[in-house]
Amino acid sequence: MSTYNINPELNQALEASLAHPDDFMYNLLFAYGLLAYPVIAPVDLFSVSLQDKKGLPVFTDEAAHATFLSRLDPNFASSWSTQLLPEILNMIRENALPVDMIAFNLRTTQDAETRNMAYFGVAELLSFITERLALVGVVDTAENQTLTDKTKKAYYVPHFVGTGRENPDDIKRVFMTVKAIDGKEYIPVFDNLMSLRHWYQDSTAIQSFLDNHGTITAMKLTDIQHPESGVNILDGLSGLAINPFDLEAADFEKALFPWPQEY
């Protein structure tokens, strides 16, 4: 029987991020999970010695937490609750608490290896979350989600960034494309994290993105067609395909949004 009823998606995201540390999407989903789902943490924050560092134990699954409690000194009393990690990190920083690291699913040498144990420096983890959620904070907001004007909406946009050989400041962006039945090509864009994930889970669709070290940024239509810096290569492209991987093949045309005349 569950004591804390924590969402398993956070633990899954942690394991995926640890298994693929350089993967953009897995890291983004882990950062989002830390914002959306609580961890099990001590009510009165305390630290344990990890070599020469002080680590705060937090848990993303109850089995790891139960194992940790079984290893504690029986004379050490502690109470636990579910808390959002960003709030814990802010508390550590604002109160200058003596915590150097966040220890996820801490185990001892007596316990079996696990895929979800990890140590992150407090400053490192704050930076990790902030950098990735800056992207989510543009697209997955209530305001952006309720916009019906597609020209005003912000999207997750996969693309490649290159620089000129002679001038590193000469930035050029090349976009991923999908092809319509008539042969016209469109830029796939996504107005929510789940739709972006659907694309990322299509191994054929993202292979060139992974092979060529693509990136994802938040853009509006005007950012795509008229960037403030650099050059966006749009030759031969007919517009946007919005959340195309949410649809069955027969409904693909519904995702297409040709360039508006005024742009």
What local confidence, expressed as pLDDT, does residue 111 receive? 63
Residue 190 has pLDDT above 90, yes or no: yes
Instruction: For 70-111, write each residue's pLDDT tens digit.
Output: 888 877 878 999 999 999 999 998 988 999 999 999 987 666
- The answer to whether residues 34 and 86 touch, using CB atoms and an 8 Å cutoff, is yes
Helix (H/G/I), strand (E/B), else coil: 138 = helix
Helix (H/G/I), strand (E/B), else coil: 190 = strand
d(CA 228, CA 231) in angstroms, rounded, equals 9
pTM comes to 0.78
Instruction: For 56-69, write each residue's pLDDT tens digit.
Output: 999 999 999 999 99
Domains contained in the chain, CATH given: 8-132 (3.40.1350.90), 140-258 (no CATH)
- Residues of the chain with pLDDT > 90: what percent? 67
d(CA 71, CA 76) in angstroms, rounded, equals 11
